[in-house]
Amino acid sequence: MDLDKLLERFTQGDRRALARLITIVENRSRDLTDVMRQIYSRAGQAQVIGITGPPGAGKSTLSDKLIAYFRKQGKTVGVVAVDPSSPFSGGAVLGDRVRMQSHFLDEGVFIRSLSTRGRHGGLARATREVVRLLDAFGCQAILVETVGVGQTELDIMRLAHTTVVVLVPEAGDTIQVMKAGLLEIADIFVVNKADRDGARRLKNELEAMLHLRPEAPWSVPVLLTEATNATGIDELAAKILAHEENRRERRTEAEEGKERVEEWLDLLRDEMSLRLDRARSSPELADVTERLRAAQIDPYSAALEVLSDGGVIARVLAGRQGDGG
């Protein structure tokens, strides 16, 4: 099927067309930027909610209950489950994601897992683009769930409007929370499994820590939940909505303009990187590659040489070089 046809079906609400466009994004295909350019203006309506926290905190169960909540409100829901933790196996280790299959047959819920593709910061960009596709498709609430608490997870959470950090009493002290950078990204803290020992103490510690921060336009709440029996979900959903409203009120056109510039620079970087990869065995770069293999030039001199030759780099980046494979 050609791209125009696919995009047409996508705009008509065809779930298979959505799935195929997501695959284009996942595989970083040549059509990627063109797809995103064409659907860009359709996105921007969804509420994007990030769910993160250490493994075992109950994020999937919490997501599951939030999906049910939004569905009861009549909203269509998108879910992107991201697992950056397994760079070598390539597959997403999303065991308890199975639980979400309670929504599997629901036409109003679209669930997709993403795992590491490539090493060049591509996962955060791919996640952003899958979210935008879901948004353009018409999903009204989009949950982005990450496993773990590394740099990639923090990068991914930047794209959420509202970031929910889920902890459990046994997750240990609040120092860990600070070290992992969670304090800076949390719009809402959830202490899940709140029936366990130490839940209230963790809540108090978090609140004490939050009070130390300078005046902020949003006061970060610390909520207690028991996701397995849906306790506290209504309050969490209400806080998520309140944060979204607060955010919309605060947002200025200047901020939005700045975000577009930053995204454009990120895209340029990624696109240059992708095009360089595609051109790596093109005739354009054959000579320098050969000299590198033969140790006639070092990698630094070779990089400077290519960059100073405007003709080569311009052709490589315009995608006009011979097709290398």
Q: Is there binding between residue 155 and a second copy (CB under 8 A)?
A: yes
Is residue 146 within 8 A of residue 156, CB to CB? The reply is yes
The answer to whether 171 touches 206, Cβ cutoff 8 Å, is: no
Nearer to a second copy, 184 or 234 (CB): 184
Residue placing its CB nearer to a second copy in the complex, 37 or 211: 37
* Residue 9 CB burial class (10 angstroms; 0-12, 13-18, ≥19): middle
C-beta neighbour count of 125 within 10 angstroms: 23
Among 89, 101, 102, 219, binds a second copy (CB under 8 A): 89
Quick one: how far is CA 194 from the chain centroid? Answer: 28
40 binds a second copy (CB under 8 A): yes
DSSP 209: H
Bridge partner residues of 191 (DSSP): 167, 224
* CA-based R_g, the chain, Å: 22
Backbone phi and psi for residue 138, each to the nearest 5 degrees, phi listed first: 115, 5
Beta bridge partners of 167: 191
Is 286 an interacting residue with respect to a second copy (CB under 8 A)?
Answer: no
106-145: which residues touch a second copy (CB under 8 A)?
Answer: 116, 119-121
Nearer to a second copy, 16 or 322 (CB): 322
User: Quick one: which segment of 5-13, 33-41, 105-113, 194-202 binds a second copy (CB under 8 A)?
Assistant: 33-41
Would you count residue 150 as binding a second copy (CB under 8 A)?
yes
Near a second copy by CB under 8 A: residue from 195, 245, 298, 323 = 298
Q: Does 318 bind a second copy (CB under 8 A)?
A: yes
Task: Indicate which single residue of 11, 33, 140, 246 sits in contact with a second copy (rule: CB under 8 A).
Answer: 33
Q: How far apart are CA 204 and CA 207, in angstroms?
A: 5
Kindly tell me which residue out of 151, 204, 219, 229 binds a second copy, with binding defined by CB under 8 A.
151
Which is nearest to 63 in space by CA: 36, 34, 31, 103? 103
Could you say which residues in the range 241-270 bind a second copy, by CB under 8 A? 253-254, 256-258, 260-261, 263-265, 267-269
- Reading the block at residue 210, the tokens are 């939050």
User: Closest Cα to residue 141, out of 238, 61, 46?
Assistant: 46
Any contact of residue 324 with a second copy (CB under 8 A)? no
Shorter beta-carbon distance to a second copy: residue 39 or 49 = 39
- The mark string for 191-230 relative to a second copy (x by CB under 8 A, - otherwise) is ----------------------------------------
CB 127 within 8 A of CB 159: yes
Near a second copy by CB under 8 A: residue from 277, 282, 283, 287:
277
31 part of the interface to a second copy, by CB under 8 A: no
